Structure 1
Amino acid sequence: MYKVLLVDDEVFVRKGLRSLIEWEKCGYDVVSEADDGEDAFEVIKQISPDVVITDIKMPIVDGLELIKKVRETLDHDTKFIIISGYNDFSYAQRAVKYGVVDFVLKPIDKEEFEGILTDLHRRLEMERTARKAKDKLYLSQLIVNVFDEAVKEGEISKWSRALKMDQSQFFYYVIFEKNNVTPNKVTPDKERKCLSNIIVDALSDIEKNNQPLAIYEHEENAIGILIAAHHLIEFDHDIVQFVSRISKEVNRKANQPITAFIGTKVSKLFSIKHSYETANRIRSYKYIVEDKDVISYENVMNIPITFNDINKSLYVKLIEQMEEKNINELEKVIALIFSEFQSRRFAPWAIRTSINRCVHGIIETINSMDGNVKSMSTIEAMTNWEKYHLTLDELKKVFREFIIEGTDMIQELRKENMKGDIYKVKAYVESNYHKNISLKSIARQFYMNPVYMGQLFKKTFGMYFKEFVLKLRMDEAKKLLRQTDMLVYEIAENVGFGSTDYFVTQFEKKCKMTPTEYRNELLKK
């Protein structure tokens, strides 16, 4: 179990998180709470939690100040998850700066939050395994110790000698990520090992001095390496040129695309953690500069990125076009969504949120129609796309295939349910005609095409939908005129008319007299 500290100035939020999330199932134990950043800092010093889940806005010391203080003053590799009620770019930007695991907006979605915790647990397990496996790869313990701040600066000289690295040289940390990994092609362990070996082979082909390498396995299909000045001699100390050469070799040997992320240059081996943090941070730019297979911190550090969701209208239009099976319009909406990802420079977690929102909406629609989502051939790839490190183009292909299959399934389910549904529609209208209903709103509620529903209604019941609603309203209006002393405008509202004038006009058309005249005629009898 990994230790968790909850930090929020509102006690009901902390208690809500405790009860909402299945902590033990996710591999965590909530060991303590704090109601502000100052108290939280003291708790962190005392119990060294593995994970801190903190609000941003709190009295005395806020969440970001807490993270900054921990990063600057404590030797703890604590993972931070921020929860906030403010969808503010500046907060998210600063959170990325401090290496926050994720930025979650309130209200908390149980499934999404548990997914984040599960991914973090996997990451923590990998880091723990890496720390224990001292001889797993060339001097990987060097990186583990420096990242965990488990080695003092004075002790770094022995590592420098082992690596034949002079401490006066400069260093870079580079993360190589394999993209578009084919599902079920190989097991994750074999995949990572393959990537490690390919990188080692590529480096040995490029760098002829056979210098020892420090290599670290991050997560599935992501490998980090430490590059020192002496590796760059033949490349005029140009790190981008050197890494581009590695990337090409890896591409050739792996027969799959690779993206490399170059961290900032540091002058001391002891500071390599900072280079790693910047390399990891710029993985957020993967979809922004997708035309490049090498992304350098210095080249993208000033490019703003978006942490918001897609425009709600796009999401609504996507679902509508699926329900109407308008393939041409669907293609346009999909193209527009992915164009927005690029033009507005969406960060990976913003893309994840947007895509998952669409996917969950489609799954809910199919489930509501008693469909079997698990039978979809595209569901596995769509719900697990992140672990395959897809490029934006590949993600678009997977998303499109899922949308088309989902559209076909919705249409088939509609055909099966349609006959019974038209009677449900009639019953619903008979109970709700006094409300503001329309053919389109009812069709949407019953997941039917409005044009087709109107035709089916006429065929089944012998009158158009609008005529049926008007008849119900008029019959009820006449009943109220006969049995009550309600005023005309009250009756109009009571039977579903928003305008008294329109009610009177329609009544006169149907009954050849106004409501008042109708009532007066009754009084004469």
Structure 2
Amino acid sequence: MLKVMLVDDEPFITQGLKVLIDWEKEGFEIVKIANDGEEAYEYLKENDLDLIISDIKMPGMTGIELLEKVREEKLSDAYFVILSGYSDFSYTQKAIWYNCMDYVLKPVNKSDLITVLKKVSESSEQEKLKKLHTNKTEKAYLERYLTSVVLGKFDKNDIEYVESQMDLSWNLRYVSIFIDDENAEIEDKDLRERQKKLYNACLDVLKDYSNNIIFDNADENSYAIGFIYCDYMSNGYNSKFDLFLEYVRKHLEGLLQKKVMMVVGKNVNGTENLCQSYGSVNILKSQLAFHDKKEIYIYDIEFNKNQSGEMLCKNSLDKLILAIEQNDEKAMKNSVDAFYEEIKKSGRSNDAINLNINYLLFQLIHIATKQDNNVNQEEILTYISEQSFDNSFSRGSSEHLLEFSKNYAIYLQQLRKTTVGDVFTQVEELVKEHYAENLNLVEISKRFYINNSYFGRIFYKKYGITFKDYLTVHRVNVACNLLLTTDMRVADIGEAVGYKDRDYFIKKFIEKKGCTPAKYRKSHAQ
């Protein structure tokens, strides 16, 4: 509803206007009736309106004087309509000068008033659309600059522009918000669509801080949303940022009906250091498999730096790295035992183990990246760590580290033999030779030591279809050949290409060829 104020010193005029039409039906609500210009002026100081309909001749402040003060003092952007029994053109000229929308003579005709209101409604809608477009353009412009700052690719002008547009406090954190989903078959376009929905949900929940929200597209395999947290945001949450973020997370889950997770970067001072907080988020993300499962991961907690100045067990870890590179299981066990013995003797806390493992993981990532920089190392670490984990011992234990080391050594060995491009070739050959077997993306991913979710996405990017569809197409093509070159029954052909259920085979055949196997055989035979 558009809010309206009627201004006239004659009560019977305002009452007559009030009952002349069905204001609600036209999309308007009369929220104030003022008896003169002064009363209207005072009301506008404290209240927002969409439309002011005012008499032109009133004692004290006239309608023209009210319009003049409102416009010159920028008190309101409300549309202004002047009512008068005087047809003096000089009044009209002055009203137009101060951006008066219309000028209506008394007595007011019902149809004339409705015409004016429709004009106001249309103008209001156009202004809203224009403002929405402007806001979107400005948001996209700001987001581009903010992304550059977050990635550390900025100059002085970038910083100045961001700070001029945003209320950034001294204490900042980068927060990565994402949907937790282990569905390996979900396609890239669907993941991007879901990221857009998450982005819009963030705008809805964090509407007061919409400028602080950005797409996290630095990595093409990232489907997260970035949020710049400032310390003042948690003022209503006992000044605890984790309570504020948990409130946001739960509301996002309510909107999306999906599990939402957050990774919170370290606290930094100053806009120019946001890239450090962003970097700490990526570090923590790459090592989540070594941490207990939770909804919100906070860098400061997960990597609590020991104040006693604990040192790296570099010699033990370097020996372990070398053993992993050489795939020497005996050397790996000795190095892991030596590492934990050193930790035990030094009396260092369990947090020190995490600090040392960080060093190990970074070195391993570097080694693997040199082999093939197209592989998503974050997902590989997660995958191998989960494969190594056993509920009989805690994460971070020597057994877990040893098992992880063995699996990573095998992964490196496989990586030396083949790149992702070679994997596609091998998968094609695998399908050609074993299409009738129960092939699936999970088992194939394990064979090549590639995370199934990641492999599913890169497979779709290369072929334009999921692995499941790729297998179906190949099976149907083989079936077509058998239909034309043999007299096998349809059910037998279906079983020969991997479908034990005749009806399911026919359904898949129709999906790919547009007709039944029997019709295909008959039409092509003719």
Q: TM-score, normalised by structure 1?
A: 0.35
Over alpha carbons, which structure has the higher Rg? 2
TM-score (norm 2): 0.35
